[in-house]
Amino acid sequence: MGMIVNGRNVALDARDKSSDIGFVSHAHSDHTSGVSKGKDMLASKVTADLIELRKGVSAKCLPSMHATKLLSAGHILGSRQLFAESDEGYSFIYSGDYQMRESLVAEPIETRSADVLIIDSTYPYRDVKFEDKSEAITSIQHYIDAKAGKGTVLFGAYALGKAQELVKIANEAGYTPAVSSRIGAINQVYENNGVGLEYLSRKKDGEEFASESGRSFVGVVEVGRLHETAQKISDQSGRRVFTAVATGFARTYNMHVDVQFELSDHADFSQAVEYIGQCSPKVIYTYGSKESQRVFARNLSEEGYNAHPFFENYGQGCLDVRAKLHAGVGVKQANQRESSHTSSSV
Ligand SMILES: [Zn+2]
């Protein structure tokens, strides 16, 4: 997936050999396939640091390019949207993963208006509505308070982003969690970039929590290792281990843990509508899995937006902002939307 800006082919979170440069919105692995050693990439410095840590690849990071600007996306530390403007004055935004609610451990999102918006469709359904973030945080803190005296509270989380948010949430309730070595290394990058986190990092792989043996504590481990680690801690300490996850999918899937909290670093449908309102695009393209792009575009169209799945229009190819707007498709349909809103409000 890509975008042509003033004749330059910019790959968007994707591997594309024909591209002139790649934009990498953030360091989650499903967005870094285009990163390779020595190749220029448009990304924040934090993203470059996190990619070096996680992939061992030191890419050449360009913080900006002619006619482009990186805007905070609010998703994880260092996450950015790409704003670009053609010489003719047409503008576009590629959202990457984003959220409108402020995270305890990421920069708040910056929005601006653009003619074309390419938007993430992780949560395309109207009926998925996240609970208020501060309520989710309070629920997590109350659970830790209630269980910490009775045994260990062990969270399973994505190592990058969610784990740091959980450490911060625990810190604000007065706890210093023990974390796995991999999460500890990522925490260090957060700290180097001004996010204060209190945690105990266990260095030896697979033995991270052994030194906690015989006492209760709060821990954070990669979600894929949650059950195995909980069993190990329980065997070593002889005490109860309460397992917990914090995810936007808490109400969608049963993760077979003691408690699942709804805590997302993405936008739900109503946040997406809020975001689109601030971008006021003439044309919207949804991207993600084919199914989610299609559902999201349909639901946005039903709300009156001029929205289309990216892949149906461009496949894995590039969108040329100038050509699309010259065709006049978006402008016409955006006007129709304005008039339909006017008539319904009368
Ligand atoms: Zn992400």
Domain-wise residue ranges, the chain:
2-127+266-345, 133-262
In the predicted model, is pLDDT for residue 327 greater than 70?
no
Q: What is the mean pLDDT of residues 248-265?
A: 93
The residue that leads in pLDDT, 212 or 1, is 1
- Continuous H helices in 241-289: 269-279
pLDDT of residue 206: 52
Q: Lowest-confidence range among 18-32, 36-50, 192-206, 294-308?
A: 192-206
Q: Say how many Å lie between the CA of residue 272 and the centre of ligand 1.
A: 15
User: pLDDT-based confidence at 211, cuts 50/70/90?
Assistant: low
Q: Say how many Å lie between the CA of residue 216 and the centre of ligand 1.
A: 32
Q: Are 244 and 154 in contact (CB under 8 A)?
A: yes
CB neighbour list of residue 298: distance below 8 Å, 6 or more residues apart: none
Q: Are 74 and 103 in contact (CB under 8 A)?
A: yes
Percentage above 90 pLDDT, the chain: 64
User: pLDDT-based confidence at 203, cuts 50/70/90?
Assistant: low
Locate 163 and state its tokens: 């784990």
The residue that leads in pLDDT, 78 or 209, is 78
pLDDT of residue 208: 65
The residue that leads in pLDDT, 74 or 232, is 74
What residues have their beta carbon closer than 5 A to ion ligand 1?
A: 28, 97
The residue that leads in pLDDT, 295 or 203, is 295
Q: Are 151 and 230 in contact (CB under 8 A)?
A: no
Phi, psi for 54 (deg, rounded to 5): -85, -35
pLDDT of residue 346: 26
Locate 25 and state its tokens: 């919105």
- 37 DSSP assignment: T
Helix/strand/coil for 35: coil
Q: Say how many Å lie between the CA of residue 97 and the centre of ligand 1.
A: 5
Q: Are 237 and 214 in contact (CB under 8 A)?
A: yes
Q: Say how many Å lie between the CA of residue 213 and the centre of ligand 1.
A: 34
Q: Say how many Å lie between the CA of residue 28 and the centre of ligand 1.
A: 5
Q: Say how many Å lie between the CA of residue 26 and the centre of ligand 1.
A: 7
Q: Say how many Å lie between the CA of residue 122 and the centre of ligand 1.
A: 10
2-127+266-345: CATH number: 3.60.15.10
Classify residue 265 as exposed, middle or buried by CB count within 10 Å of its CB (0-12, 13-18, 19+): buried
pLDDT of residue 331: 40
Q: Say how many Å lie between the CA of residue 236 and the centre of ligand 1.
A: 35
User: pLDDT-based confidence at 236, cuts 50/70/90?
Assistant: confident
pLDDT of residue 345: 31
> What's the CA gap between 164 and 177, in Å, rounded?
11
Q: Say how many Å lie between the CA of residue 75 and the centre of ligand 1.
A: 7
pLDDT of residue 210: 65
pLDDT of residue 84: 92
Q: Could you write out the three-class secondary structure of 255-266?
A: CCCCEEEECCCC
pLDDT of residue 338: 42
pLDDT of residue 16: 82
Phi, psi for 151 (deg, rounded to 5): 170, -165
Q: Say how many Å lie between the CA of residue 78 and the centre of ligand 1.
A: 11
Q: Say how many Å lie between the CA of residue 105 and the centre of ligand 1.
A: 14
Q: Say how many Å lie between the CA of residue 287 and the centre of ligand 1.
A: 14
pLDDT of residue 83: 95
Q: Say how many Å lie between the CA of residue 42 and the centre of ligand 1.
A: 17
Residue for token digits 């699309």?
324
Percentage above 70 pLDDT, the chain: 89
Q: What is the mean pLDDT of residues 303-323?
A: 81
pLDDT of residue 340: 40
Q: Say how many Å lie between the CA of residue 53 and the centre of ligand 1.
A: 16
Q: Say how many Å lie between the CA of residue 169 and the centre of ligand 1.
A: 20
User: pLDDT-based confidence at 7, cuts 50/70/90?
Assistant: confident
Q: What integer best gives the mean pLDDT of the chain?
A: 87
pTM of the model: 0.89
Q: What is the mean pLDDT of residues 252-272?
A: 95
Between the CA of residue 291 and those of 4, 262, 309, what are the distances in Å?
25, 23, 9
Q: What is the mean pLDDT of residues 175-192?
A: 95
Which amino acid is it at 285? Y
133-262: CATH number: 3.40.50.12650
CB neighbour list of residue 84: distance below 8 Å, 6 or more residues apart: 3, 5, 10, 67, 68, 69, 91, 92, 93, 321
